[in-house]
Homo-oligomer: A and B are copies of this chain.
Amino acid sequence: MGQELPVTSFALLGLLSFGEPLTGYELKQRADKTLRFYWVSPAMSQVYTELDRLNGHGLIRPVGDGRATAYSLTDAGRTALDTWLSTTPIGFPVLKHPVALRLLLGALMDPESVRRLLLDHLDALEEEHAALEEVRTSLQGADAPDQLFRYPSLVADWGLSYFEHEKTIIEDLLRRIEDGS
């Protein structure tokens, strides 16, 4: 029974694989906090739609704890996740970078606008870096090998390094644009 699910489904399954049952609402919060850096954070409505589907496929199970419906992975869900991890071909990352896209058309803008484009991006980078750093520190204490958040921590470090490097690239571009090199 090879159910072809989109990657986002497995991303949500993945969030549930850390053990704690989560409601749709909580799932969205986790996605906003961490998943959005490496994948996407689906819209609220999409989360619930997805939960219905996963439940329909028997990959998750509602655990009614009163007012809110939390879901936890079923054995089938764990298996599906394992199978996905081991057999699904991995594509190359897709980057949608509005700043790079605009810089490509830098010739259509006046120099001051190009400069502001990059400076604004530096600010945005700073902000995102801070947000990710917060996540990173929240993982401290469980980030040693064999601990629960070992891999999330590694990925967070990856992301932090990525932001830091992008910052230096942008600064470099700004310099090159000023003195034509």
Contacts and interface: CB of A to CB of B under 8 A. Distances in A.
Interface of A: 7, 10-11, 14, 17, 34, 37-40, 81-82, 85-86, 90-109, 113, 117, 120-121, 124, 128, 144-146, 148, 150-152, 154-155, 158-159, 161-162, 165-166, 169, 172-173, 176-177, 180
Nearest to A104: B155
Given A14-B105, A109-B85, A95 B38 contact: yes
Given A154-B176, A177-B154, A101 B39 contact: yes
* Complex copy number for this chain: 2
Contacts of A161: 165, 169, 172
A90 B104 contact: no
A98 B34 CA distance: 14
A152 B91 CA distance: 25
A159 B165 CA distance: 12
A90 B99 CA distance: 7
A117 B100 contact: no
A104 B152 contact: yes
A92 B172 CA distance: 19
A93 B98 contact: yes
B107 A150 contact: yes
A141 to B, nearest CB: 16
A105 B92 contact: no
